[in-house]
Amino acid sequence: MQSSQPAAPFPAPKRASFSFIDLFAGVGGFRMAMQRLGGRCAFSSEWNLKAQQTYQANYGDAPFGDITHPDTKAHIPAQFDILCGGFPCQAFSIAGHRKGFQETRGTLFFEVAEIARKHRPKAIFLENVKNLLTHDNGNTLQVICNTLQELGYHVSHQVLNSMTHANVPQNRARIFIVAFDPIQVPCYREFSFPEAIPLSSTIHDFLEKGPVQAKYYYPPEHRHYAKMAEGVVSRDTLYQWRRVYVRENKRKVCPTLTANMGSGGHNVPLVKDAYGIRKLTPKECFAFQGYPVDQMRFPAKMANSSLYIQAGNSVTMPLIQRIGEQILKVLEKQRHKKAG
């Protein structure tokens, strides 16, 4: 059951101009972005218990659990304006005839499609990895688009990068899918994805000042320290430890954050500061996803490994906000036309 915690740092707006649901919610990147635009979260779902805790600490209510369970879906309100979610990428079992709604059964996207079919939101706003474009030779994306079209939605998709479209210095390319119900939103053709904007921020705007806790620094006796010291030489960029070698980011931005960066010594972002060579802290990882980390709350007893996973799985919040603005422009235009 969801509980109210008014003291949460990111409560729902007192007056909302639209409503949305937050599926595969993670730590709430969609929610934060859409609340900033004046939206009210009418329902959220996230199966990972650790992510639920971080979500509740920041928004005052815990997401419901596994969206595949009927008792979870029973809490979705009858009506809401926008369906949001960063659903996992899964292959479909193609029967070879329709390549639409029926072929999505057994996947998590099917839950998105089924909720859209039942509740008919005005808009659908989805995020996924860039590889969705080529996943299963492009078939996965084709089925997703076909399915939404079969449900009566007009679909647009585009790959955008955090460093080119959100002024966040992380090289993170993701595909975004936006769909409108043409019956409720006849001016759907006026939607466009946001344009690129200059990257005026640097990694130093996102890194913690001064020394961090000693546990994040690599000691000289570490088995890979010599290799790291040889490769990690500049304080003006970030590096990535790739199991046995260092990769420098030539663009002087953060490499793509991943869910496995906190375990097994792979994909670990490295930085050289005045005190040594170290990993990024979890707080810095959330900063590189565009979160206002000085306002965020992180559960006190949560392991860093869980926080790294949550940051790596998250969306870049300001990019979600910029796309959300474009969606709302269309919905507002439709509202004015209706009122007029």
**Phi/psi at 228 (5° precision):** -65, -45
Cα 58 to Cα 274: distance, rounded to the nearest angstrom:
32
Give the 3-state secondary structure of residue 146: helix
Compute the half-sphere exposure of residue 40: CA atoms within 13 Å on the CB side of its CA: 11
| Cβ contact 46:55 at 8 Å | yes
Identify the active-site residue in 41, 89, 145, 285: 89
Residues of 17-56 as b/e, b for ≥16 C-beta within 10 angstroms? ebbbbbbbbbbbbbbbbbbbbebbbbbbbbbbebbbbbbb
Residue 89 designated active-site? yes
Enumerate helices (H) and strands (E) in the chain, giving the number of each.
10, 10
Q: Where are the alpha helices (DSSP H) in 120-161?
A: 139-150
Give the 3-state secondary structure of residue 323: helix
Cα 16 to Cα 170: distance, rounded to the nearest angstrom:
31
| Cβ contact 52:46 at 8 Å | yes
Q: Which residue has the tokens 């009858």?
A: 78
What residues are annotated to the active site? 89
